[in-house]
Amino acid sequence: MHFTRRTILGAAVAAACVAVTTAAAPAYAQKPLVIGFSQVGAESEWRTANTASVKDAAKKAGVTLKFADAQQRQENQVKAIRSFIAQRVDIIAFSPVVESGWDTVLREAKAAKIPVILTDRSVNVSDPTLFVSLIGSDFVEEGRKAGRWLVEYAKKSPAATLNIVELQGTVGSAPAIDRKAGFEEIIKGNPKLKVVRTQTGDFTRAKGKEVMEAFLKAQGKSINVLYAHNDDMAIGAIQAIEEAGLKPGKDIIIISIDGVKGAFEAMIAGKLNVTVECSPLLGPQLMEAAAAVKAGKAIPKRIVVNEGVFPAEVAAKEFPNRKY
Ligand code: GZL
């Protein structure tokens, strides 16, 4: 191509324009990031800590957070997401109360070119591009950790059989499905371990207590172990066990998941035997991921949170370190 002075000059001016327009806008001129966040509800100590983490991180990051509490109802989350689309937020983030039923509303977000980041729980969708990333725990592994602790406990128990009752989380939710699968994977084939009853307690203390009362009525003193998908249901069950005149943590061994302060207090009181950690402190990672997505940067499809297992023996020592 033949370059005349005009072409070169034109190119130089064009380059200068490009240079000016691409210079980073001064910080004060940048609009704060706006995130629409739909939260499951306020069903447990874990959820309360998760909400606090998201709100606190948004404040620290200077993010404008539009927060909606769905009271554990999927239709409220769908409504909230549609409202975020109408408000043209920069990013939509949410913890899906259940795994299925999200394709339509997430396709609407995609059509509106609003990226979606999942926190805590996952979704089952036909098109994986309907969300950018999932930030949260590996619930199957949490179930495996609970199963491994019980297998080790069973090795030292003189009982020929340990009858297990299971309090499942919210029906259809990723943590309930996966924690059940992980636990079963580890205990299957163990002749000593038998799940005799399993039912949802919807992750709440009240329902956990109610279902445990029904288990005790049906199974009485033949229950040896309770596996609860979260600490709140375990704490509710502890009340039912005591009201039935039995000793939680001794007559009935209790295994639960989350690692909230209430679980540490129950372990220190000798009423809970182990809790598998599931960190709710996802706020900072969410803000980091949202800023990266807004800046057009690629982020991992799956951001896993690393967690531990806390048996009663370490509860008193660990308790002062607990942040939720
Ligand atoms: C797990 C989270 C679960 C907690 C429960 O990441 O989705 O929901 O285990 C909470 O306490 O209700």
pLDDT digits (tens, 9 = 90+) for 225-247: 999 999 999 999 999 999 999 99
Give the integer Cα–Cα distance in Å for 245 and 251.
10
Evaluate: CB of 258 within 6 angstroms of ligand 1. Answer: yes
Amino acid identity for residue 89 in this structure? V
Whether the CA torsion 206, 212, 217, 221 is positive or negative: it is negative
267 alpha carbon to ligand 1 midpoint, in Å? 19
The top-level CATH class assigned to 139-278 is: alpha beta
* d(C-alpha 93, C-alpha 13), whole Å: 42
Domain over 11-136+280-306 is classified CATH 3.20.20.70: no
Q: What is the pLDDT of residue 27?
A: 52
Pocket test for ligand 1, best of 120, 145, 204 (most atoms within 8 A of CB): 120
Q: Is 179 in the pocket of ligand 1 (CB under 6 A)?
A: no
Residue 140, CA distances (Å) to 118, 259, 276 in order: 17, 16, 12
pLDDT in tens, 99-144: 999 999 999 999 999 999 999 999 999 999 999 999 999 999 999 9
Distance (Å, rounded) from C-alpha 45 to C-alpha 138? 19
Query: Residues 32-39: what's their mean pLDDT?
Result: 97
63 CB-side CA count, 13 A = 29
Residue 121 CB less than 6 A away from ligand 1:
yes
* Distance, CA of 197 to CA of 215 (rounded, Å): 7
- CA 258, CA 273: separation in Å to the nearest integer? 13
Three-state secondary structure string covering 189-200: CCCCEEEEEEEE
pLDDT band at 6 (very low <50, low <70, confident <90, very high): very low
With a 6 A CB cut-off, is 208 part of the ligand 1 pocket? no
**What's the rounded mean pLDDT across residues 275-287?**
97
Q: Ligand 1 center to residue 175 CA distance, Å? A: 7
- Ligand 1, atom 6: nearest CA belongs to which residue? 120
Asked whether 41 lines ligand 1 (CB < 6 A), one says no
- Ligand 1 atom index nearest CA of 45: 11
CB 100 within 8 A of CB 125: no
Of 258, 264, 266, the closest CA to residue 307 belongs to 258
Q: How far is the CA of 222 from the centre of ligand 1 (A)?
A: 29
Burial tier of 229 (Cβ tally within 10 Å: 0-12, 13-18, 19+): buried
Max distance between CA atoms of the chain, in angstroms, equals 97
Please tell me the distance from the alpha carbon of residue 71 to that of residue 41, in angstroms, as a whole number.
4
- CATH 3.40.50.2300 spans which residues of the chain? 11-136+280-306, 139-278
Distance from Cα 132 to the centre of ligand 1, integer Å: 21
Ligand 1 contact via 46 beta carbon (within 6 Å) = yes
Torsion of CA 292, 293, 299, 304, to 10 degrees: 90
> What is the model's pLDDT at position 147?
98
The residue that leads in pLDDT, 31 or 199, is 199
Q: Which of 203, 227, 232, 256 has most ligand 1 atoms within 8 Å of its beta carbon, as the pocket-test mutant?
A: 203
Region 9-22: mean pLDDT is 39
**Ligand 1 in reach of 168 Cβ (< 6 A):** no
Copy the structure tokens of residue 250.
């001794």
Overall pTM > 0.85: yes
What's residue 205's pLDDT?
98
Structure tokens at 223: 């229950």
Residue found under tokens 């989380």: 169
The answer, yes or no, to whether any atom of ligand 1 lies below 6 A from the CB of 44, is yes
Task: Tell me if 175 CB under 6 Å of ligand 1.
Answer: yes
205 token code pair: 């203390």
Q: Which atom of ligand 1 is found nearest the CA of 41?
A: 12
